[in-house]
Amino acid sequence: MCGIVAAVGEVDVQMCREMLGRIKHRGPDDTGEIRRGNVWLGHQRLSIMDVGGGAQPLSDVDGTTYLVANGEIYNHRHIREDLGHELFETGSDSEAALHALIVDGPAGLARLRGMFALAFMTSDGEFLVARDSLGVKPLYWARRAGVTLFASELRAFDEADRPLVESFPPGCCWSPASGLVRFADAIPSHVRPARRAEEPGVWDESLLKSVRETIVSAVENRMMSDVGIGVFLSGGLDSAIVAAVAAEYAKRHGQPLPTFAVGAPGSSDLAAAKVVAEFLGTEHHEIVMTREDAIAALPKAVRAIEHYDPSLVRSAVPNMLLAEYASKRVHAVLTGEGADELFAGYSYYHEAPFTDPDALQAELVRTVGELHHLNLQRCDRTTMAYGMEARVPFLDRDVIELALSIPPEHKMTGPGVEEKKLLRDAFEGWVPEEILRRGKEQFGDGSGAKDVLEKAVQSSPEIAAADGVELRSKEEAGFYAIWRDELDGIRADRTLGLFATT
């Protein structure tokens, strides 16, 4: 949705404005700032909800409290009803976060359902920042003598401050008075498999219905927008399910549904996405990626995702091309991120030691909790590089809680049981049968980017060990060299730790 910057302490307003300017791509529609005492808030706006009246910083009617936010509060209508419509001045979903904090203080964060990073202050000096429990929306901070700085992306910080930058932990809030406090866990402690599966891979209709209805609700909640919204359609199972639900919603509301696919000429992703789009009747757009396109996008992708892990870079390159094209047509897109981590879609989940149900469950929980370092970082940065928001319905709280309460045996493969069979069975009839049973293929592979990019960096020099970074392959060394150059020669171990490879 947007980009935010905040500072508390000895505020240098000009420096804060420069920080905000470095993330203007996240919110090209408007710029807002406010200072009260020793607190400064800045906002770059991407207008999605209440385009005319939702400018930030938001304030209460008396002008005594202020908020800047990046993300979406999907239950904002329920919060309005609960707190009273008379409190609200705009149609912005972020205003629900403002009033929840005014009414309940930090406890108001528990009301919020969505993806967000926010900063809140009062005219009498109170200050609070917070990040959603999964870290879907990014937030970084740097604590230095006299001032604490916050921003949506690493690049916002001055080069001198970058060695101090850390990823702000998901599910936490911070204030000068209370310090860092956890208000929510990525995986709530009560979420665990309800029972062992007596017959792995065999389930009744009630489970399929529960999975289907929970995912449908999550997708529909993310269709809220006062501007255009579309779907990134890779041709895989997960994005096809999202597109199918979104298409039904769009039809009921008399709206078109644009879908977007990218791939090299003749790639399997383009072919599969076309099958899905024709089946659903969407307004489909294909971006054919040439070798030259991929190589030209490589440094842009590495800079955008602020990462050099090969699997992320390979998928980021086609994502960048997709986002560049789609951003000219819609302001927000839905993606299939998170389904593989919840329903055991990756091949390694089905190898030792994860052939043990308890080990598989632990690994699913771990990888969901780590998504903010990896796929979610790539998903956010590649879209926001072009001022477009990505929404991730599979990572809705209800979907996570349901998926991780399912016996892990139901996610294991075996004779006649392919990966994600439960998810496939739940959406039988919603997508074409050939897509429903299509095997898992990494986005960077299916799009055709992998081979091109591997060859593009084969001639890159190995990086000196003096950087203190362990690199696993020549390909990763090539991506790291680009990353280092694009991020202004960062060397500090503490900063490099933000980008630990998978």
- Give the integer Cα–Cα distance in Å for 185 and 365: 11
- Give the integer Cα–Cα distance in Å for 143 and 127: 15
Strand partners of residue 262:
287
- How far CA 374 is from CA of 60, 66, 68, 312, 333, in Å, comes to 36, 31, 25, 7, 19
- Give the integer Cα–Cα distance in Å for 16 and 151: 10
Burial label for 449, CB within 10 Å (0-12, 13-18, 19+), is buried
- Give the integer Cα–Cα distance in Å for 428 and 83: 41
Phi, psi of 309 (to 5 degrees): -60, 130
The residue assigned the tokens 């003749």 is 266
Contacts of 69 (CB under 8 A, 6+ apart): 1, 2, 4, 56, 58, 94, 97, 116, 117, 118, 119
- Give the integer Cα–Cα distance in Å for 314 and 461: 19
Structural tokens at position 412: 């294991």
Choosing from 2, 16, 173, 379, the catalytic residue is 2
- What count of Cα atoms within 13 Å lies in the side-chain half-sphere of residue 58? 27
16 carries an active-site annotation: no
Query: Which amino acid is located at 81 in the chain?
Result: E
- How far CA 79 is from CA of 62, 355, 449, in Å, comes to 20, 43, 44
Phi, psi of 213 (to 5 degrees): -65, -35
Structural tokens at position 427: 């959406």
- Catalytically active residues are 2
